[in-house]
Chains A and B, each alone.
Chain A
Amino acid sequence: MDSNCLNNGRANTCPYRSYYPSGREERWGSGETRRPDQKRRMPSCSMEKPECPELSCRRTEEKQMTENRCGREEKRMAENRCGRESRSKDDSCCMGKSGQERDMEEFALAMGYVPWQSYGRTFELCKGLEVGTIFPELCKPFCGKRGGCR
């Protein structure tokens, strides 16, 4: 394996490798804005792998990576939980899901998302100064219990 292969191997560790345009490495989410109603084109095992005509070793590694992620690892994860085929079915069978949790199903774990804010109603200015924001949707008082008001 030459140095190029090493570099590409590092890029391949990202589960969204197949999302990248062919032959380019781009940071996930850099400068990307998206409205909540717009569905992100999420990568999946069936998506085409990026083309890299110059480096034949990349294709080999990607194939291996795809097999690892979509084959053995995923199966093992499913078996460890309910023994069902997919993780989503598995979760819904083990515990009830709220609508919010279901909405988040398409999103990957451990990635941060900031939904697009729309300009709507604003607080009275005296209230805004008091609570630290003029936007009611950003008013999140910390109540000392599990991050939410009770």
Chain B
Amino acid sequence: MSSQNQPCRKELLCRINEVSFAIDDLQLFLDTHPCDQRALDDTHMLVEERKKLLETYAKNFGPLTIDSTADSGSDSWTWATQPWPWEIAEEKGRCQ
């Protein structure tokens, strides 16, 4: 993928954090409201979105979770060699 089409790493990571947090909060709600259809629908939608986001992230920057290690398409174990998420803020020259 060309660098022009590559998504912004920080924005992508930010979106993953937002979606993941919302799923965690919905999980808590569903623990006490297991039959709430609207909450279930929203959770399923966000889980799908999170899967796609993690896949996109893995393809472009390496896997964020162990589940998406195969999505990175790398021959090596990028899980260990890529920058850690908290090291991304130190990278310069990308989206602020």
Contacts and interface: CB of A to CB of B under 8 A. Distances in A.
Nearest to B15: A125
A142 interface: no
B22 A128 contact: yes
A122 interface: yes
Interface string A131-146: 0011100000000000
B21 A117 contact: no
Contacts of A33: 32
Contacts of A135: 25, 29
B4 to A, nearest CB: 25
Contact of A117 (B22, B26, B33): B33
Interface string A108-150: 0000000001010010011011000111000000000000000
Interface residues of B, number: 16
A122 B18 CA distance: 13
B80 to A, nearest CB: 28
Interface string B57-70: 00000000000000
B36 interface: yes
Interface residues on A, range: 10 to 19
Contacts of A128: 18, 21-22, 25
Interface in B4-37: 14-15, 17-19, 21-22, 25-26, 29, 32-33, 36
B92 interface: no
B18 A119 contact: no
B29 A125 contact: no
Contacts of B19: 125
Contacts of A125: 15, 18-19, 21-22
Interface in B31-62: 32-33, 36, 38-39, 42
Contacts of A117: 29, 32-33
A114 B87 CA distance: 41
Contacts of A133: 25
Given A129-B17, A135-B29, 8 more contacts: A119-B38, A125-B19, A126-B18, A128-B21, A129-B18, A129-B22, A134-B21, A134-B22
**What are the 7 A-B residue pairs with the smallest beta carbon separation, nearest first?**
A125-B18, A129-B21, A134-B25, A129-B18, A119-B39, A125-B22, A134-B22
Interface of A: 33, 117, 119, 122, 125-126, 128-129, 133-135
